[in-house]
Structures are given as structure tokens and as C-alpha cells.
Structure 1
Amino acid sequence: MKFTVLGAGAMGLRYGVLLQAAGNKVEFVDTWSPNVEKMHQQGGVYVSRDHQNRHLVPVKVSYPEDYHGNPDVWVVLISRCNSLIFSSAPPTPSTINNTCSLA
């Protein structure tokens, strides 16, 4: 399955990386540039379990305005959102960017 995780913070990345490990295609969307740029720079995100076996996991992360995917499932894991009200249509980069703070 194809998943898009809205929010590439601690929770979004944790769930998304687990979904990837299970064999799913996962993309992340976030607006917080320090995190997005760091993941682009290092080619993914470092993960570990109980501070053991730290390793880099490649992830695809985009800003809302650059995201053009069509996932089977949207996973929303954001810390703040003024009004997360989407119409019956799936969210678009424009509605994601205009309604939610993904930081």
C-alpha cells in the first residue's frame, strides 16, 4: 500500500518508518524546514531502538507545495492544527498548507 504521513515529527516518522519496514511505500509531508532540510541533507532519518543499532533509514519527505502523491491511505500525525476540516475530497497540498501547522 501507499501511505502519506502528514507530519514528519517524532510520531509521524516513527509510524512511517514502521510502515516502510513492513514493506509499504511511505511518503512524508511537513512544513518545518529545519527537519525537512536535515532529512534531505542526510538522505533520511536516523533510528534506533533503546539507543542500540542506530542507522539511517531513507525517507521521502516533501513540503506541502511540492507534494503530488496519490496515496491509498493518509496518516495525519500533527501537533497543531487550527482547523483540520477537509471536504469529502482528499487533502491537497494547498489545503494541507493552508489549514495545518505541521511543526
Structure 2
Amino acid sequence: MPRHVRRICLLLGLISGVGTPSALAADADHGADLARRWCASCHVVANGQTQASADVPSFASVARRPDFSPERLAFFLLDPHPKMPNFPLSRTEAGDIAAYIASLR
């Protein structure tokens, strides 16, 4: 699906309430599994992880940011950007990863 179409669909879902935490029961445990598989090569995703890239934030530091929002993070994960690989995440997977990061607060 083209990036602009995916963005419009995500925005419409958020506006209609589909993207709210009460409407989607995000699975933080599944998000942790996805993070270990896809994100741990660059980010520290869990306590005890000993290796990651030095120039990227840990998931715990992302969770502690004062402007942190799981919804915004899920949207960020779905919108390709140059600093991160373009993983083909579904909205559910992005929400699960965001829920996992939120659990680290």
C-alpha cells in the first residue's frame, strides 16, 4: 500500500476512535517479542540487553519522554523515515510495540 494511503487510513482510524487504547487492546507481550526480533539490533529494548547502537535511544528512555504517547509512537512506527529501516508493521503490531514501550514507564 502506498505510504500516503497508509497514512490516511491510519489518521482516519485514529479520528474515528479505532486507534484509541480502549478500542484496540494492544498486546505489550507481543510488542516485546516484536521488539526483541526487529528492534534490538539498534535499540536496547529490555533490561539486561548488552548490545545496541550507541546513537539511538533505549526503549526505556523513549517511554520516559514527557511527550510520550503510545498512539503517536504507533503512528511514527508506521510512517517510514530515513533513520530507521522500513519494517512492514501492521497497525496492530505497531500498537503492540508502542504498548510494550509504554509498559516501561
Interval of TM-score (by shorter of Structure 1 and Structure 2): under 0.3
Q: Give the number of the structure whose residues are more often strand, by fraction.
A: 1
Q: Give the number of the structure whose residues are more often helix, by fraction.
A: 2
User: TM-score, structure 2 length as denominator?
Assistant: 0.22
User: TM-score, structure 1 length as denominator?
Assistant: 0.23
